Amino acid sequence: MIPKIFVFCNSCEPNWHCVQALTEDGCFIASHVCSSHCFIRHDMGIDPDGWKRDIYAIHYPDGYEVVFEETPQDPSPEFKAAYQRHTSYTKEEYIERMLIHQKVQAPELEKVK
């Protein structure tokens, strides 16, 4: 089964849309702010030729499916499970995942300890 990456609009104001990408195993791996809801599909890699796909491939090198959670106030059961995994990480597990994605460099890791 191909793992999923859930993209959702965390804050949709009239002029700005803050969008997040959450992996099936509970990692927030990408975000973006765009000026129109219409740009989300391309800017967050929902479209096959969209942005962010290089980031997604680091997490899931064997392939993935990007799912647009268009109504995060009524999330799918899979999205709820991914978010639950995210909230259940220990500090050490979280740091390990961020190191894998090269989002936390060694000097920054010392600040977290």
Q: What is the pLDDT along the chain (113 residues), one digit of tens a residue?
A: 899 999 999 887 778 889 999 999 998 889 999 888 889 999 999 999 999 998 899 889 899 999 999 876 789 999 999 999 999 988 888 777 777 665 434 444 455 44
- Tell me how far apart the alpha carbons of residues 83 and 87 are, in angstroms, rounded to a whole number: 6
Give the rounded distance of the alpha carbon of 57 from its chain centre.
Answer: 12
Which pLDDT belongs to residue 16? 86
Place of tokens 């959670």: 69
- Residues with Cβ < 8 Å from 70, sequence gap 6 or more? 8
Instruction: Look at strands 4-12 and 17-23 and give their pairing.
Output: antiparallel
Q: What does the pLDDT read at residue 106? A: 45
Cβ distance 28 to 86 under 8 Å?
yes
The secondary element (H helix, E strand) that includes residue 28 is strand 28-34
How are beta strands 65-69 and 4-12 bridged, if at all?
parallel
